[in-house]
Amino acid sequence: MRAILQRVRQASVTVDDEVISSIGRGLCVLIGIHKNDSQPDIDYIVRKILNTRLFEDASGKRWHLGVKDAGLEILNVSQFTLYCELKGNKPDYRHAMGGEAAQQFYQTFLTQLRNQYNGDKIKDGRFGAMMQVNIQNDGPVTITIESPKKMDKTGNSEEV
């Protein structure tokens, strides 16, 4: 799994000219799902999203609190293009998990995130839809997190 964490002052998702989800201060997280991802990848990414220290504490000390400790919101957006590989100038998405499997995996991810935090603070876009994501970055602070690569029996990486 790949997650792009963006610290935001506010963020929203619009589909067909309708705002379907929005948050105030917190994180906007773009989520990419690799075709070989499994439950341990969800465990790792959820832990990192909730606990990576990107926020200041009450005294103003920077990089001291995770989104969970700060009690802030999270807007998640599924984005298969995070597993794009260019073939010349043509995008190739063969490393991304496909359709229904990806949707189920993404729902499992959201459920786990809600179970480990305050479910009311977890928002998401619409899986598979063409979305307009509006973000007011804070900082800007943008962090890329990737679950550890798995090795096959010969010691070769299974991911990109």
- Under a CB-based contact definition with an 8 Å cutoff, are residues 75 and 13 in contact? yes
CATH 3.40.50.300 fits 2-146, yes or no: no
**Catalytic site residue 79?**
yes
Summarised one tens digit per residue, pLDDT across range 48-106 is 999 999 999 999 999 999 999 999 999 999 999 999 999 999 999 999 999 999 999 99
Kindly report the pTM of this predicted structure: 0.91
Q: CA–CA separation, 99 vs 108, rounded Å?
A: 14
Query: Is 81 one of the catalytic residues?
Result: yes
Q: Given this model, what pLDDT does residue 158 score? A: 57
Residue 160 binned pLDDT confidence (cut-offs 50, 70, 90):
very low
pLDDT bin (cut points 50, 70, 90) of residue 151 is low
Given a cut of 80, is residue 132 above it in pLDDT? Answer: yes
Q: Which of 81, 107, 108, 144 is catalytic?
A: 81
Each domain of the chain, given as residue ranges in start order, spans 2-146
Q: Which of 6, 14, 52, 80 is catalytic?
A: 80
Q: Given the residues 6, 14, 79, 109, select the one marked as catalytic.
A: 79
